[in-house]
Structure 1
Amino acid sequence: MRKQIAMAGSLLVNGLRSLFLVLCCLMVATLIYSISIDGLPFRMELLTPWMAATLVDFYINIVPFAVWIFYKESSWISATLWVILLICFGSVITSGYLFMQFLKLSPQESLQDPIYHVLLHDTNEDDTKPKGKHSPIVIARTLFSVLGCLMLGTLIYTLLTDGSPFRKELLTPWMTATLIDFYINVVALSVWVAYKESNWISAFFWIILLVWFGSVTTCAYIVKELLQLTSQDPLYLVLVTHDNRDQLTIYPSRGNSICKGGVRL
């Protein structure tokens, strides 16, 4: 049984490494191709109403990645650098950063819930308690609620003023590149949702919503998960499954181990 679990963990890690490496290369190739056939994207004529809406959708979707990177990185300098790169290069950085995180896993971590180890950084007990007057949970709920409403309003406004987005003339080279960029980030979010959900039916349901409604679904899902935490909980608990959340509450100092069934491994 342990051998089968170890094999499954190894296959998962290798599969995700390969996935994010391929996605990173795909986006780099897309950028190079789009520049070669359509020039640089910094032109006002490219900013159609639906392109603007897609960019709003795209940048709202990278907010969770930016927050996570600030949590993961050990210094503000490296975190800020990664976030700036994320804003400039989008899913090239998302997939590249995730690929690097999976490469950093030790053989033991690769066998013991590798996604858990990628999501969390090593913490001390002091890190498990909110610092300052305002609860990070409440701030995050407010932030993602506002962002979700902003995107919903953007979609409604663009539909009313520019009609349906399913028109061939809208599919310019840079719109195509932006959509590829957007959906690569959706793939990364879908991996997290599939990890978080307790059954494949609910995971599939949320992933379909992610594909169709983008950052509206991203924000709604994050708010849903945040509502299951108290204002006194540390924000990073939103990253993990309910089982691991309970274990982290009991054993706040994670170190390089993971708890299974209340026992440190």
Structure 2
Amino acid sequence: MITFLKLLFSALLIWMCYVVITTSIASNLFKEWDFLGGIPWMRATLWDFYTNVLVIFVWICYKEKTIFSKGTWLVLLVTLGSIASCIYMLVQLFRLSPGEGLKELFGKQHG
């Protein structure tokens, strides 16, 4: 299961980097913001995104011991979104010792 998760989050990370880079090349978010900010679904998407960031950050606060680590991950989540989420999951997966599984992935604290 851990190997599958490593492959899954690696694939998601690569996919999201591709999507963000190609979208950034095709469209400048800052030039389009006035239009996008007026769309109700865009506002709903932003509320959804930041709610998800909060949920993931609460878990990170449990997992990480230092305020520096917690703050760093919060900044990364807010600025990079799912790219940072995938990176965090991969870090957690690669921190596991041989023989550790999902229980340790979700419950083991670091710091």
TM-score normalised by L of structure 2:
0.89
Greater relative contact order, per chain length (Cα 8 Å cut-off, separation 6+): 2
Structure 1: tracts of 5 or more residues without a match: 1-135, 244-265
Shift of 1:148: 1.0
TM-score normalised by L of structure 1:
0.39
Shift of 1:190: 0.6
CA RMSD, 1 decimal: 1.5
Q: Could you tell me which of 87, 92, 108 is aligned with 1:225?
A: 92
Specify the alignment match of 1:170 in structure 2: 36
In the alignment of these two chains, the number of paired residues is 108
Distance 1:197 1:161 in 2: 37
Report whether the alignment pairs 1:216 with 2:50.
no
Specify the alignment match of 1:157 in structure 2: 22
Aligned to 2:95, the other structure's residue is in SS state coil
C-alpha contact 1:186 1:210 (8 A) present in aligned 2? yes
Specify the alignment match of 1:181 in structure 2: 48
Specify the alignment match of 2:7 in structure 1: 142
Specify the alignment match of 1:19 in structure 2: none
Q: Could you tell me which of 50, 64, 78 is aligned with 1:197?
A: 64
Distance 1:207 1:145 in 2: 21
Aligned to 1:227, the other structure's residue is in SS state helix
Deviation sequence 1:139-195 (CA, Å, 0-9, x none)? 101100110111111100100011235621111111001110111111000101111
Looking at CA atoms only, which structure, 1 or 2, has the larger radius of gyration? 1
Higher helix share: 2
C-alpha contact 1:186 1:214 (8 A) present in aligned 2? yes
Shift of 1:204: 0.6
**Amino acid of the structure 2 residue aligned with 1:163:** N
